[in-house]
């Protein structure tokens, strides 16, 4: 059966044809568009490590892995060859009726017959793709298993493609895979089934994905491939680009037509990716430590982090010190060393609150001016940040002309990222991001497009400032994220105000994810201090600690309700006199805390 080019893939927003009907982009063209973009994403956006993850998991060469990634991306929407989608009320209309979908003519042909149950099938086209592809991959020789389908490649790839809409669907067991129509009547039999097979075979032929992988889908490979497929679909679906590639009326979709269109799609794909401002960002070679930097946290890390990373490869640096300019500079320098070693393509700086992100963004952008190479775009990411590029750009232009900054803190930076990236699900793809730790932790929560967040972070350096500043619930999510980060070899820099068991747990989590075992790891309790865990082996390293500014003592004051103010002042007076040390005083109510703070400020000048 020849491929039927009347089966549409994109229709909304494409304008009218010469007869007044709606333009429709044939499904096979959208599939090839997505496959062509996937090739460019593989070549120009993925890091070498990401490509190696996929090739090693599938037991194929890098070139074969590239072709398979493009082939699979080209199959993501094959679930649109089903009755409800093709006759969807929002589909492209024929010129002779404002109410009849263009594809209605299919339904009156004998081979495309369907029943009422099929037309009312409420399943999504993503779920339909998962169900149908599980059997299709098995038929062409992908490893499969009747007992544990979820652990075999044929099902894993189908489930991955079925999740391109942001959510993955439940496992399809063998008895269901043998007859997907029983659960998804909307798939349709007869010509519907034949067209799915023709589209499958033609995409495979045109892309050239003839190899049959015999490996398995590791979690790390699934993250990378999900990112490639979903990002490629997003880019191939940009309406302006589709309008430029629309075929003339009567385009038949013959093998020769498809070969010619493949060249059109390939020629257009690089431009689609360039328009996103995702390409070209990297880390420069970090400069050597400045002469005269003899002691302190910054000097210790500047001397030793480059050697550790050169010997062990990228990993996680954990810094425990009081908040200061020195600590911030030290963690950013460490991020630059890790980013250069990992060939990372950007950085995400996570903080506990949106206001903290606002105040840190200028410093992060200053760092990027020194540390990043090539073009880079920056976004402010938290629940109240303004991702409105048109308004922000206008405000920024006004500020440039009048020498006035009228935007709220951080808002002036929003205009530096384009509108395509200014989306809830795409924002983390920006080369440079400053935001709340919640943006980070959603990567390991069961939320829509969580895997895309992991994919976006998998090519970056992640900095978590004030890593201890969350409750027990958030702490568990952080541990889970660090396990994923180590498995994906994401370079991480953590900064905490003090070393305690929560910091030890974060070190141990990264070590587990890197395959270093479950032995406990302890951060040095003296302040300031730092440690390193390499992502290759999970081995913990305790380098020579900073000298000179270390403090060995900790003052603990237990203040109960009714404690005389004089006792608090007497306990703090020696610290103030010595000019060093920090203390926290907890009072039972906010009002009492404010009163105590004011009295101490008056009675102990310089505190």
Q: Indicate whether 513 and 584 sit together in one domain.
A: no
Tokens of 214: 């015999």
In a domain, 415, yes or no: no
Domain boundary among 239, 274, 309: 274
Half-sphere exposure of 433 (CA within 13 A, CB side): 34
Domains: count for the chain: 3
Q: Indicate whether 194 and 91 sit together in one domain.
A: yes
Does position 385 have pLDDT exceeding 80, yes or no?
no
Q: Please give the pLDDT value at position 293.
A: 61
Mean pLDDT on 91-96: 70
Contact 531, 557 (CB under 8 A): no
Q: Please give the pLDDT value at position 590.
A: 82
Q: Please give the pLDDT value at position 392.
A: 36
Pick from 64-78, 175-189, 427-441 the range whose average pLDDT is largest.
Answer: 64-78
Pick from 60-74, 353-367, 498-512 the range whose average pLDDT is largest.
Answer: 60-74
Mean pLDDT on 520-543: 91
Question: Average pLDDT, whole number, for the chain?
Answer: 84
Q: Which residue has the tokens 């999510």?
A: 477
Contact 507, 468 (CB under 8 A): no
Mean pLDDT on 450-454: 96
Q: Please give the pLDDT value at position 552.
A: 43
Distance separating alpha carbons of residues 158 and 132, to the nearest angstrom: 8
Length of the chain, please?
607
Does position 64 have pLDDT exceeding 90, yes or no?
yes
The model's pLDDT over 479-504, given as tens digits with 9 standing for 90+, comes to: 999 999 999 999 999 999 988 899 99
3-state secondary structure (DSSP) of residue 435: strand
Q: Please give the pLDDT value at position 483.
A: 97
Q: Indicate whether 514 and 576 sit together in one domain.
A: no
The model's pLDDT over 18-34, given as tens digits with 9 standing for 90+, comes to: 666 678 899 999 999 99
Distance separating alpha carbons of residues 583 and 570, to the nearest angstrom: 13
In a domain, 18, yes or no: yes
Q: Indicate whether 263 and 356 sit together in one domain.
A: no
The model's pLDDT over 250-301, given as tens digits with 9 standing for 90+, comes to: 789 999 999 999 999 999 999 999 988 888 899 999 887 776 666 789 999 9
Cβ atoms < 10 Å from Cβ of 12 = 11
Q: Indicate whether 537 and 578 sit together in one domain.
A: no
Does position 475 have pLDDT exceeding 50, yes or no?
yes
Q: Indicate whether 468 and 588 sit together in one domain.
A: no
In a domain, 399, yes or no: no
What CATH number should be reported for the domain holding residue 489?
3.40.50.300
3-state secondary structure (DSSP) of residue 20: coil
Residue 295 DSSP one-character state = S
The model's pLDDT over 302-355, given as tens digits with 9 standing for 90+, comes to: 999 999 999 999 999 999 998 888 899 999 999 999 999 999 999 999 999 888
In a domain, 381, yes or no: no
Q: Please give the pLDDT value at position 407.
A: 38
Q: Indicate whether 28 and 146 sit together in one domain.
A: yes
Between residues 526 and 221, the one the model is more confident about: 221
With a pLDDT cut of 70, the percent of the chain lying above it is 83
Distance separating alpha carbons of residues 26 and 524, to the nearest angstrom: 62
Tokens of 552: 């060995």
Domain with 156, as residue range(s), is 8-274
Q: Indicate whether 451 and 493 sit together in one domain.
A: yes
Beta-ladder partners of 372 = 283
What CATH number should be reported for the domain holding residue 28?
1.10.3210.30
Paired sense of beta strands 347-351 and 461-464, if any? parallel
Q: Indicate whether 210 and 136 sit together in one domain.
A: yes
In a domain, 150, yes or no: yes
Q: Please give the pLDDT value at position 561.
A: 52
In a domain, 309, yes or no: yes
Pick the closest to residue 422 from 412, 430, 411 (CA basis): 430
Distance separating alpha carbons of residues 176 and 431, to the nearest angstrom: 43
Q: Indicate whether 581 and 525 sit together in one domain.
A: no
Domain boundary among 274, 309, 343: 274
Start-to-end CA span in the chain (Å): 84
Cβ atoms < 10 Å from Cβ of 311 = 9
Measured at the CA of 452, the angle between CA 448 and CA 457, to 5 degrees, comes to 130
In a domain, 338, yes or no: yes
Q: Indicate whether 571 and 535 sit together in one domain.
A: no
Q: Which residues are CB-contacts of 447 (< 8 A; sequence separation ≥ 6)?
A: none
Q: Indicate whether 209 and 336 sit together in one domain.
A: no
In a domain, 555, yes or no: no
Mean pLDDT on 444-464: 96
The model's pLDDT over 455-464, given as tens digits with 9 standing for 90+, comes to: 999 999 999 9
Contact 377, 418 (CB under 8 A): yes
Q: Which residue has the tokens 């865990």?
A: 533
The model's pLDDT over 390-427, given as tens digits with 9 standing for 90+, comes to: 333 322 322 333 333 333 433 444 444 456 887 778 98
Q: Please give the pLDDT value at position 400.
A: 31
Between residues 50 and 181, the one the model is more confident about: 50
């Amino acid at each position: 059966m020849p491929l039927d080019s009347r089966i549409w893939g994109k229709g909304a927003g494409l304008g009218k044809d010469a007869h007044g009907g709606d333009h429709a982009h044939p499904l096979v063209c959208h599939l090839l568009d997505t496959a062509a973009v996937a090739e460019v994403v593989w070549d120009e956006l993925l890091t070498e490590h990401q490509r190696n993850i996929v090739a090693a998991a599938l037991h194929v060469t890098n070139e074969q892995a590239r072709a398979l990634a493009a082939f699979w991306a080209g199959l993501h929407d094959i679930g649109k060859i089903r009755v409800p989608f093709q006759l969807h009320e929002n589909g492209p209309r024929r010129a002779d009726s404002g109410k009849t979908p263009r594809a209605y003519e299919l339904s009156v042909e004998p081979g495309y017959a369907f029943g009422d149950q099929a037309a009312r099938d409420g399943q999504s086209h993503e779920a339909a793709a998962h169900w149908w592809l599980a059997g299709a991959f098995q038929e062409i020789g992908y490893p499969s298993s009747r007992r544990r389908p979820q652990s075999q490649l044929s099902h894993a790839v189908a489930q991955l493609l079925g999740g391109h809409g942001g959510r993955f669907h439940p496992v399809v067991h063998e008895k269901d895979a043998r007859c997907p129509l029983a659960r998804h009547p909307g798939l349709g039999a007869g010509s519907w089934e034949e067209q799915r097979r023709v589209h499958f075979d033609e995409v495979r032929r045109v892309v050239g994905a003839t190899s049959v992988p015999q490996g398995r889908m590791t979690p790390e490979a699934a993250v990378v491939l999900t990112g490639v497929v979903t990002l490629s679909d997003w880019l191939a679906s940009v309406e302006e680009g589709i309008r430029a590639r629309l075929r003339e009326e009567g385009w038949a979709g013959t093998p020769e037509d498809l070969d010619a269109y493949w060249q059109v799609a390939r020629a257009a794909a690089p431009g689609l990716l360039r328009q996103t401002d995702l390409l070209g960002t990297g880390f420069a070679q970090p400069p050597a430590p400045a002469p005269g930097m003899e002691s302190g946290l910054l000097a210790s890390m500047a001397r030793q982090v480059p050697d550790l990373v050169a010997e062990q490869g990228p990993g996680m640096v954990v810094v425990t010190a009081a908040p200061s300019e020195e600590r911030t500079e030290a963690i950013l320098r460490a991020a630059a060393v890790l980013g250069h070693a990992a060939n990372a393509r950007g950085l995400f700086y996570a903080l506990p609150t949106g206001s903290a992100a606002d105040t840190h963004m200028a410093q992060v952008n200053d760092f990027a001016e020194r540390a990043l190479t090539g073009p880079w775009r920056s976004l402010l990411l938290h629940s109240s940040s303004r991702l409105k590029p048109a308004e922000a750009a206008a405000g920024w232009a006004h500020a440039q002309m009048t020498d006035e900054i009228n935007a709220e803190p951080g808002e002036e930076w929003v205009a530096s990222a384009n509108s395509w990236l200014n989306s809830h699900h795409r924002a983390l793809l920006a080369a440079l991001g400053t935001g709340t730790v919640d943006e980070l932790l959603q990567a390991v929560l069961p939320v829509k497009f969580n895997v895309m967040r992991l994919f976006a972070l998998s090519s970056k350096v992640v900095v978590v400032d004030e890593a201890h500043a969350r409750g027990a619930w958030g702490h568990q999510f952080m541990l889970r994220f660090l396990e994923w980060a180590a498995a994906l070899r994401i370079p991480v820099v953590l900064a905490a105000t003090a070393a305690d068991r929560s910091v030890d747990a974060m070190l141990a989590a990264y070590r587990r994810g890197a395959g270093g075992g479950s032995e406990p790891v302890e951060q040095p309790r003296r302040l300031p201090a730092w440690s390193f865990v390499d992502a290759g082996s999970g081995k913990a390293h305790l380098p020579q600690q900073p000298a000179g500014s270390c403090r060995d003592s900790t003052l603990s004051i237990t203040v109960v309700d009714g404690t005389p103010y004089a006792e608090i002042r007497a306990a703090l007076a020696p610290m103030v006199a010595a000019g060093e040390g920090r203390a926290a005083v907890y009072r039972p109510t906010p009002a009492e805390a404010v009163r105590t703070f004011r009295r101490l400020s008056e009675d102990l000048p310089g505190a």
